[in-house]
Chain A
Amino acid sequence: MPHDHSDHDHPHALLPPDPALRVKALETILTRKGLVDPAALDEIIDAYQNRIGPRNGAEVVARAWTDPAFHTALMADATSVVADLGYYGRQGEHMVVVENTPQTHNMVVCTLCSCYPWPLLGIPPGWYKSDAYRARAVREPRKVLADFGVSLPETTAVRVWDSTAEVRYLVLPMRPAGSDGMTAAQLADLVTRDSMIGTGLPRVPS
């Protein structure tokens, strides 16, 4: 398996250095060898650009806000509850939902790579994968929250979840004030992607 090489021994160095040309070359080789079907690549991209995204997670959050039995079940065994909604899958095999309260604000990171609950939130945004987020979220979460325009009271503890295994975390944000009487569908529109990572708060109804 991969081990240390001097730089010029890494096989990737044989490909063109420009990233677009590098990917194109690799796709050409793998297609020619019969190892990859370009139509399957199109299908994967379509899934993650048009179908699998944070609307899924927002539906789960809105339902948890409006259905006490669902909320209880979700906190006890998120994997099976979201699977029943059709949101089981790759990078979401072991789901845990962590709930924000006035006492504790949860925030999710993966310092070692970029683990993220794909079936519920889609592919991660660029900032989630950035060195700055991976390096800083565990040590100075409140300064990172400030980068997102979020300020928490000193009396609220910040609990940062570093996704070091295959367990994936979804933050259940607090239901915003002024949302009484809204339907689950209306509430889902308040639930932003970042509020389910813990770097944002839900939208406040206008």
Chain B
Amino acid sequence: MTRVHDMGGRFGDGPVVPEPQGIARFKAEWQARALALTLASGALGKWNIDTSRHARECLSPADYARFSYYEKWIAALADLLVETGLLEAGDLRDAGSGASLPLIDAALKSDQVAAVLAKGGAYDRPGDVPVAFAVGQAVQTVRPSANRLIDGGHTRLPSYAAGARGRILRCHGAHVFPDSNAHLAGESPQPLYSVIFPAGELWSAPENPKDEVVLDLWQPYLEPA
């Protein structure tokens, strides 16, 4: 039901290794190029952030586990470019040949980069779905964690939090619904809430009974408790 990226709570990973403070550094030049290529390709407007997340999640479990972070990005980017028709599979097979074409109008230009990064893209929307839950209200997440629109599709309810009881901490208003948006099936805005769970509701042996986990969850992931 779940995919390999859904790893919250998993046992068996080793220590977390801190790094120097300050701006995070790329470990190699190709990692910087991978990030920049992904952003510049995204600016072509053929997909959205949920689509690109889902493309990474659709890597085979073996690839997902063995690829480093930016290898996942570049593999998913190649897959998306072919899926959306910006490239053909043959282009990937034979990178070095073919005519050079002029830069298309939609391509991100260097003098536009700062403005595009600063502009971002908000995800809140005017929503016509009535808000069902109030701050402080007890709720329970649906179980299993799964896309209810497309089997095996993108969803943002981690499996560790499926079927758990918490309470509404905050309502963010309606936001683009990833379960639909990832599949270019419409933004379908849904009310988004911060929901707080006691650690003991999620884990059999919480480190401290006072500890809590907060997740941002869309209304379709929630039921009254």
Contact = CB atoms under 8 A, between A and B. Distances in A.
Given A40-B40, A111-B160, A1 B89 contact: no
Given A2-B80, A19-B68, A44-B39, A160 B211 contact: yes
B19 to A, nearest CB: 5
A138 B29 CA distance: 32
Count class of interface residues, chain A: 35 or more
A89 B119 contact: yes
A2 B86 CA distance: 14
A45 B101 contact: no
B83 A138 contact: no
Given A12-B74, A19-B68, A162 B13 contact: no
A45 B40 CA distance: 11
Interface in B107-128: 107-114, 116-124
Contacts of A147: 15-18
Given A26-B77, A162-B213, A127 B17 contact: yes
B129 interface: no
B51 A1 contact: yes
B215 A162 contact: yes
A32 to B, nearest CB: 5
Contacts of B114: 43, 47
A111 B6 contact: yes
Given A1-B184, A7-B62, A34 B104 contact: yes
B33 A23 contact: yes
Given A11-B79, A164-B156, A37 B120 contact: no
Interface in B183-207: 183-184, 192, 194, 196, 202-203, 207
Given A23-B34, A42-B110, A3 B58 contact: yes
Contact of A2 (B25, B54, B95, B116): B54
Contacts of B27: 126
B110 to A, nearest CB: 4
A131 interface: yes
Given A7-B62, A14-B89, A93 B120 contact: yes
Interface residues of B, number: 123
A159 B208 CA distance: 11
Given A28-B96, A88-B120, A93-B123, A132 B15 contact: yes
B179 to A, nearest CB: 12
A173 interface: no
Interface in B1-23: 5-19, 21-23
B32 A45 contact: yes
Interface string B37-57: 101110010010101011110
Contacts of B70: 19, 23
B138 interface: no
A167 B196 CA distance: 15
A193 B37 CA distance: 26
Contacts of A99: none
Contact of A111 (B8, B39, B75, B80): B8
A191 B35 CA distance: 27
A160 B75 contact: no
A35 interface: yes
A175 to B, nearest CB: 18
Contacts of B157: 164
Interface in A93-140: 93-94, 96, 109, 111-114, 119, 122-127, 129-140
* A-B complex: 6 closest residue pairs judged by Cβ atoms: A111-B8, A53-B23, A165-B216, A157-B210, A41-B36, A12-B75
22 contacts: A1-B184, A11-B81, A11-B82, A12-B76, A22-B78, A23-B34, A28-B95, A34-B104, A44-B36, A54-B21, A111-B160, A112-B158, A127-B17, A135-B7, A138-B160, A138-B213, A139-B202, A143-B207, A154-B208, A161-B213, A164-B157, A193-B24
